């Protein structure tokens, strides 16, 4: 690929994605201004505008994806496995990861040896144009993860990165708005905009009840019955637009700080949308809970950011030209271009990670020492950032906010709390992957495994249709985390994409059910609805099969592909990774938990479907009033069900997986083996599975998972479909476990006891101190002030006023007495003059006798 093409492609992608990113912001502003005042409450203009923005965004994203593909000649879609398997000069590189039982050879060394030659040709050509560091810089990297064979045979990893706008610069440290575009970004953009488009359109129907001046909220009880308030149609859509802007900004972000900014913006949008029915106490509580739980995670994120800022002095993901040379990004600093960390143990004994340049040379300080970061700090940074992901993706132990977040309108649940926002955590783990050490990855895997199992078990007993889906979401997010943590980078993100499709589909379908049943959400009041709303029922069934991961065994398509929906492929990939990992490292839980989870998932999803759509109606009244939703709502369901079924077509040889694989960090495909010479430093002896190894285990893992899924689905059919076993009896028999699960493993109570109650106690103390000491002091001083002013008043009234009044009275009396003299008779005055004259002379004579 010639450099000129790369550069123009980079600019095209940048502007296309920027348009797709900023359009929703424009929409938000216009809707905010126009919605309330200009268009009025009955207008759907806000919705149309917001749909227009997001659909345009989708078109831009899709064009961007196509442009990228054409520019790279779709090299990503060429058979990776074959390339790796056949054209590789040294098979030992991959074999070393697989060979768990043999002595682990230092694969890094091998990779090192030949990757040095593969200097990215395009990069050198692209840089000189952007030497001026003051200008927003852009760069194209072709990080070669191919073998040392001729470059045009293999697929180079193409990354477009650059700076939109530099916010601040402190020496070499700078904070900027930048972008980082690789195939993951493009796929995420396309997925987010597509699903958001569907959900926006669905929401036009679902939120139409808000197009009124007098919306009756039946869940808020006032002294006059239900609450009546003006509708907030435009507000809903303006928040949706703001959310889309934030989410796309997060995906496009080229540095970890920018990610954090949009991370928080997404959190705020989530807060607004969960609390949309703000008059409902439960909704505002849920909004608060979500926000606060996320803050707990974000605290970790901030710590991670601080470590990165302090030790790396750089937030950029990718390499950027700066100060006339290339400033290596975080990924290059930690992993170089071969994906391997270089460890170094100085005399003091603490292991350190040596910083590299983008061309794999070791970075040095001006005094010639190596630039390093202590290994444990890198672990801490990774754990910190992952803490943020725990909060955002509702992982154990911060998972409790997500079910409560179902208080928001259903389209919000679909978009924000299942398909995209909660996926941001997973996305960030994927994006930040090169920064994670194997220890961090192990933590990620365990968190994911615990979460998926825990949430799945709770979902089994939930009766609210949206709550079931919420727990299912948590569980599936756990799967993704597990996959990423186990080294199945592409598998985890693969599941992220497929899950986004089928979960948004199911949420929208449940929204359609809720809308059709006039806001009844409890499954025990439903049943038999497939006769009333067939389209909703069968699109939902597609989603259920997808998430359950069902396939038709022993029947394959001509290409050797099993007949299955998307969830089968993605979950299969994760389970296969888990199996490989277990074989390499032990950690059996990490395999058996997801395997059990697969069965439970199938069980509760089919339970939901049978409960809602199959059998006889349980509540006649609800059934009678139920109806199929309008086309504006069903249409998106149909479209989404198509994608939920077929987006992962081809599995690991399919289009989507290969697109993702193209962005895979360089360390992943070959697996990772901790360097044995440093094991004495206390590092865990962890080996990450290579592609080859996973591929080898794929069939076995797939079969196991499929069996589990069938078992789960079968149980659900027996219990809820044909009602062969009475569910109530089972509930009776295991009432202890049931209660435990209904209480969500007691997490809310636990947190209540651990944090809320002590806080209340301390707050009680504080308020007591306030009341007794501070208030007492204040009251005493206030009383003293009153007393003093009372005295003051007495003084004023008696002495000051008294003096003035006395003087006045005297003056008056004297004047009154003197006025007697003023007879008004002229004759008297003449006499006075004469007497006065005499008096004056008398005085004169008296005092001056001479």
Q: Which residues bind other proteins (CB under 8 A)?
A: 818-828, 830-831, 834-835, 837-838, 841
Least distance from C-beta 826 to other proteins, angstroms? 5
Strands (E), 557-706: 562-564, 672-673, 687-688
Q: Contact at 8 Å (CB) between 720 and 727? A: yes
Which residue bears the tokens 């299955």? 564
CA separation for the pair 389, 368 (Å, rounded): 37
Cβ-based nearer residue to other proteins, 555 or 826: 826
Name the residue among 106, 111, 113, 110 with its Cα closest to residue 679: 106
423 to each of 56, 156, 391, how far by Cα in Å?
22, 27, 11
Name the residue among 80, 89, 156, 162 with its Cα closest to residue 121: 156
Per the DSSP assignment, residues forming a β-bridge with 814 are none
Least distance from C-beta 783 to other proteins, angstroms? 54
Least distance from C-beta 843 to other proteins, angstroms? 12
Which residue bears the tokens 């709550």? 467
Cβ-based nearer residue to other proteins, 348 or 817: 817
CA separation for the pair 790, 785 (Å, rounded): 8
Return the structure tokens found at 574: 């994760």
Cβ-based nearer residue to other proteins, 777 or 832: 832
Least distance from C-beta 784 to other proteins, angstroms? 53
Helix (H, G, I), strand (E, B) or coil at 254: coil
Cβ-based nearer residue to other proteins, 101 or 816: 816
CA separation for the pair 504, 491 (Å, rounded): 20
Cβ-based nearer residue to other proteins, 768 or 830: 830
Cβ-based nearer residue to other proteins, 168 or 846: 846
Give 174-200 as a DSSP string.
Answer: EEEEEEEESHHHHHHHHHHHHHHHHHH
**Please, what is the angle between helix 233-252 and helix 421-431, to 10°?**
10
Least distance from C-beta 820 to other proteins, angstroms? 7
Name the residue among 107, 222, 131, 78 with its Cα closest to residue 659: 78
DSSP alpha helix (H) spans, 432-533: 438-461, 465-485, 489-516
Cβ atoms within 10 A of the Cβ of 749, count? 12
Least distance from C-beta 818 to other proteins, angstroms? 8
The order of strands in the sheet holding 138-143 is 138-143, 157-170, 173-181
**In sequence order, which residues have a C-beta less than 8 Å from that of residue 669 and are 6 or more positions away?**
84, 94, 145, 690, 691
Least distance from C-beta 829 to other proteins, angstroms? 9
Cβ-based nearer residue to other proteins, 620 or 827: 827
Cβ-based nearer residue to other proteins, 82 or 820: 820
Strands (E), 650-791: 672-673, 687-688
Cβ-based nearer residue to other proteins, 780 or 838: 838
Cβ-based nearer residue to other proteins, 736 or 815: 815
Cβ-based nearer residue to other proteins, 631 or 841: 841
Cβ-based nearer residue to other proteins, 725 or 834: 834
Longest Cα separation, the chain: 155
Give 305-330 as a DSSP string.
Answer: HHHHHHHT---BSS-EEETTEEE--H
Q: Sign of the C-alpha dihedral, residues 727, 732, 734, 740?
A: positive
Radius of gyration of the chain (CA): 37
Strands (E), 557-595: 562-564
Least distance from C-beta 789 to other proteins, angstroms? 44
Least distance from C-beta 807 to other proteins, angstroms? 21
Least distance from C-beta 781 to other proteins, angstroms? 56
Least distance from C-beta 786 to other proteins, angstroms? 48
Least distance from C-beta 845 to other proteins, angstroms? 9
């Amino acid at each position: 690929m010639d450099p000129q093409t790369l550069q123009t492609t980079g600019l095209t992608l940048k502007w296309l994605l920027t348009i797709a990113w900023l359009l929703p912001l424009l929409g938000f502003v216009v809707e905010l201004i126009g919605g309330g005042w200009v268009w009025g409450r009955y207008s759907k203009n806000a919705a149309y505008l917001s749909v227009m923005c997001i659909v345009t965004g989708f078109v831009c994203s899709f064009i961007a994806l196509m442009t990228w593909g054409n520019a790279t000649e779709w090299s990503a879609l060429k058979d990776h496995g074959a390339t790796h398997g056949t054209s590789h000069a040294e098979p030992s590189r991959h074999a070393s990861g697989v060979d768990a039982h043999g002595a682990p050879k230092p694969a890094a060394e091998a990779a090192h040896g030949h990757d040095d030659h593969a200097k990215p040709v395009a990069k050198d050509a692209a840089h000189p144009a952007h030497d001026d560091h003051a200008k927003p810089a852009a760069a194209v990297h072709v990080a070669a993860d191919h073998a040392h064979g001729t470059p045009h045979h293999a697929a180079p990893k193409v990354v477009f990165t650059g700076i939109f706008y530099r916010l601040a610069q402190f020496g070499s440290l700078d904070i900027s708005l930048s972008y980082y575009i690789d195939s993951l970004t493009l796929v995420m953009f396309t997925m987010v905009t597509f699903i958001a488009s569907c959900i926006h359109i669905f929401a036009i129907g679902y939120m139409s009840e808000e197009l009124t001046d007098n919306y009756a909220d039946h869940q808020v009880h006032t002294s006059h019955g239900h609450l009546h308030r003006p509708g907030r149609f435009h507000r809903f859509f303006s928040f949706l637009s703001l959310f889309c802007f934030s989410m796309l900004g997060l995906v496009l972000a080229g540095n970890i700080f920018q990610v954090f900014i949009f991370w928080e913006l997404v959190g705020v949008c989530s807060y607004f949308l969960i609390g949309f029915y703000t008059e409902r106490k439960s909704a505002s509580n849920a909004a608060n809970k979500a926000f606060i739980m996320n803050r707990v995670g974000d605290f970790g994120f901030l710590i991670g950011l601080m470590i990165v800022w302090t030790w790396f002095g750089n937030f950029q993901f990718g390499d950027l030209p700066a100060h006339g040379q290339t400033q290596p990004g975080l990924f290059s600093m930690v992993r170089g271009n071969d994906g391997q960390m270089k460890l170094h143990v100085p005399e003091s004994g603490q292991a350190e990670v040596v910083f590299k340049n983008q061309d794999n040379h070791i970075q040095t300080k001006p005094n010639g020492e190596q630039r390093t970061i202590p290994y444990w700090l890198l672990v801490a940074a990774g754990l910190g950032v992952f803490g943020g992901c725990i909060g955002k993706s509702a992982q154990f132990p911060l998972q409790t906010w997500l079910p409560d977040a179902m208080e928001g309108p259903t389209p919000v649940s679909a978009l924000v709390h299942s398909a995209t926002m909660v996926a941001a955590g997973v996305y960030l783990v994927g994006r930040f992957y090169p920064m994670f050490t194997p220890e961090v990855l192990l933590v990620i895997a365990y968190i994911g495994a615990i979460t998926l199992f825990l949430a799945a078990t709770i979902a089994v007993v939930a009766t609210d249709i949206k709550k079931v889906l919420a727990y299912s979401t948590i569980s599936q997010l756990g799967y993704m985390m597990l996959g990423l943590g186990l080294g199945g980078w592409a598998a985890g993100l693969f599941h992220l994409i497929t899950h986004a499709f089928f979960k948004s589909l199911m949420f929208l379908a449940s929204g359609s059910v809720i809308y059709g049943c006039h806001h009844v959400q409890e499954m025990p009041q439903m049943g038999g609805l497939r006769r009333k709303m067939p389209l909703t029922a069968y699109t939902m069934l597609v989603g259920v099969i997808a998430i359950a991961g069902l396939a038709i065994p022993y029947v394959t398509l001509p290409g050797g592909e099993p007949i299955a929906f998307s969830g089968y492929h993605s979950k299969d990939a994760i389970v296969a990774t888990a199996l490989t990992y277990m074989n390499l490292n032990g950690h059996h839980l990490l395999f058996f938990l997801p395997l059990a989870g697969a069965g439970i998932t199938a069980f509760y999803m089919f339970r939901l479907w049978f409960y809602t759509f199959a059998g006889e109606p349980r509540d006649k009244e609800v059934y009678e009033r139920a109806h199929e939703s309008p086309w504006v709502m069903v249409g998106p369901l149909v479209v989404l069900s198509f994608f939920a079924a077929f987006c992962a077509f081809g599995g690991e040889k399919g289009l989507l997986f290969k697109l993702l694989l193209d962005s895979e960090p360089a360390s992943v495909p070959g697996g990772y083996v901790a360097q044995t010479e440093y094991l004495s430093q206390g590092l865990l002896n962890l080996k990450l599975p290579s592609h080859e190894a996973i591929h080898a285990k794929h069939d076995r893992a797939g079969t196991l998972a499929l069996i589990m899924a069938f078992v789960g689905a079968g149980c659900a059919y027996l219990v809820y479909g044909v009602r062969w076993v009475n569910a109530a009896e089972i509930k009776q028999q295991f009432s202890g476990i049931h209660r435990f699960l209904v209480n969500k493993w007691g997490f809310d109570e636990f947190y209540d006891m651990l944090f809320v109650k002590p806080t209340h106690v301390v707050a009680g103390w504080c308020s007591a101190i306030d009341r007794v000491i501070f208030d007492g002091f204040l009251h005493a001083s206030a009383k003293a002030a009153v007393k003093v002013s009372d005295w003051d008043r007495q003084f004023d009234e008696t002495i000051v006023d008294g003096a003035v009044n006395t003087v006045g009275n005297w003056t008056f009396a004297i004047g009154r007495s003197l006025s007697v003299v003023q007879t008004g008779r002229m004759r008297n005055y003449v006499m006075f003059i004469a007497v006065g004259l005499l008096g004056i002379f008398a005085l004169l004579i008296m005092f001056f006798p001479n």
